[in-house]
Amino acid sequence: MRKFLIGTALSTTAVMAAGSVYANEELIRLSQDAKQWVMPAGNYAATRHSTLKQITADNVGKLQVAWTFSTGVLRGHEGAPLVVGDVMYVHTPFPNNVFALDLNNDGKILWKYEPKQDPSVIPVMCCDTVNRGLSYADGKIFLHQADTTLVALDAKTGKVEWSVKNGDPGKGETGTSAPFVIKDKVLVGISGGEFGVQCHVTAYDLKTGRRVWRAYSEGPDDQILFDPAKTTALGKPVGKDSSLATWQGDQWKIGGGCTWGWMAYDPALNLVYYGSGNPSTWNPKQRPGDNKWSMTIFARNPDTGMAKWVYQMTPHDEWDYDGVNEMILTDQQIGGQTRKLLTHFDRNGLGYTLDRDTGELLVAEKYDPKVNWTSGVDMNKSSPTYGRPRVVSQYSTDQNGEDHNNKGICPAALGSKDEQPAAYSPDTQLFYVPTNHVCMDYEPFRVSYTAGQPYVGATLSMYPPQGETNMGNFIAWDGKTGKIVWSNKEQFSVWSGALSTAGGVVFYGTLEGYLKAVDAKTGKELYKFKTPSGIIGNVMTYEHGGKQYVAVLSGVGGWAGIGLAAGLTNPTDGLGAVGGYAGLRNYTALGGQLTVFALP
């Protein structure tokens, strides 16, 4: 008789815990079992590190394909499967199908969820019809559909337990992010910055789907859930209506600041961390001011949604450098003392290290040497511009005005890294970062707002830095010093999430479709295998039947692969990515497959 470890885990936890801490304690316990992968990033700290070590630097070269699974869907496959007990849960891009696969029976399909969504949501999705994954808790699988429906599925049967609408696609609001479970709540963000959405993070009751709180990225204090006397920015109270003061009139109502990226959580501090995206429109002349709190790291109490601290990385963004990338939580020695750190690799090309309790800025350095829009961040705490990047006027799309083609800006709008998450190894104390090595020309123009219509206001083209041909690097980064330790060149952007392991091996995928394994200390390539399509998914690992497996979704798409995914050929389409990645079609084609690897 098939044994479902899900049920065992639930019954045990029910005896151990109750009330609001129930799901939280269950997830912490399950995430500490390296045999499973129960959260989008593997754990609350978002380290994407596994203590499994059956696969090592010495034997990884012997990896073989153990089994494969076709999702039956084309377009970009971001995110990663979950493994809970003996079951693997796999998701797809739109229409956001979910499969439960029996690991005890050659991946037999236990159930399949096929949502019925209005296809009119597809043209409202900015950069492909991607979905970044599922979450698990309380015997449920949580999915955020493209049409913004948050659905809770019974993990054993796939039956819909509850569903709730998180936004309105008619206004340009869509769902692409992975839900995030904390205690008795499911947190979920929203996409739509290119449609003038006032974006938010919302918490729903785990058992019923009832909305508990919603925190917007911009607006009055009661909407962004700030206490003007207690919420701080770089150690100082933000003051009353800190967001409103940085927007002209009611522009904040269509201000963007979307929240489609990753979240992390510190149970000891009881703080959840995430970032907000670009302000709307992309034409900075139309929205003078700092446009707070777009481009911001938030630390919030997940019970109430109230913000403890914030840090805005790119005030008055002029380049679409969304701040939604992952927040990785570590405890490390820095400045002679062990500190609770948060490390964030921003689209703007700067790698940040902050104290995650207080929001103190400790490190802000370029993690791609070609970054040129800024000469660096003012780290002088007594300076009136402390914590702000120093903008190089030559690459300012605001100072140079509308209808001016600003050339040679590095990085491009898709950033030195987009949503593809980095990994951290406590063994090497290094971060492993998939990066874009891409520059752009950026021409802003005046645009008017109409609900549900694109609100961009810029034309872009993308290309490698001058004199170079590689559009990507995979790097090892020292977060304490802000230095690159080693760097591997890739022909195209590295758009896959990284995985580090206790076996001394780091895994990532390439846009051509290769799964690669490199030595964690040196970066030496140890293994590669070409999957059927380009990889923009995140590599994960689990153990089953005494054997360690490594798995990744392949299916080219996302922003970098939008030309292939959507059949676009105009070089400026895809917000400038189609021309920059035109050569990708010579190396891969559309697909949708899970590939699972193991030692023989």
Write out the catalytic residue numbers.
320
Nearest alpha-carbon partner for 505 in 42, 5, 61: 61
Return the percent helix, strand and coil in the chain, to nearest 5.
10, 35, 50
**Are β-strands 307-312 and 232-233 bridged in parallel, bridged antiparallel, or unpaired?**
parallel
The CB density around residue 521, as the number of other CB atoms within 10 Å, is 16
Length of the chain: 600
Nearest alpha-carbon partner for 219 in 191, 187, 256: 256
DSSP string, 454-517: ----EEEEEEPPTT----EEEEEEETTTTEEEEEEEESS---SB-EEETTSEEEEE-TTSEEEE
Judge whether 574 and 562 are in contact, CB under 8 Å: yes
The rounded distance, in Å, linking the Cα atoms of 126 and 575 is 9
Q: Which residues pair with 598 in a beta bridge?
A: 64, 549
Nearest alpha-carbon partner for 257 in 243, 267, 245, 270: 243
**Are β-strands 140-144 and 135-137 bridged in parallel, bridged antiparallel, or unpaired?**
antiparallel
Angle at 201 between CA 198 and CA 203, to 5 degrees: 140
The rounded distance, in Å, linking the Cα atoms of 457 and 313 is 22
Cα dist from 455 to 196, 254, 286, 354, 361, whole Å: 6, 9, 11, 33, 33
Judge whether 413 and 440 are in contact, CB under 8 Å: yes
Give the side-chain half-sphere CA count within 13 A for 393. 2
Q: Say which amino acid occupies 412.
A: A
Judge whether 263 and 180 are in contact, CB under 8 Å: yes
The rounded distance, in Å, linking the Cα atoms of 86 and 98 is 16
Backbone φ/ψ region at 598: left (φ over 0), alpha (ψ -120 to 50), beta: beta
DSSP state, residue 408: E
Judge whether 464 and 387 are in contact, CB under 8 Å: no
The rounded distance, in Å, linking the Cα atoms of 90 and 83 is 9
Radius of gyration of the chain (CA): 22
The CB density around residue 21, as the number of other CB atoms within 10 Å, is 14
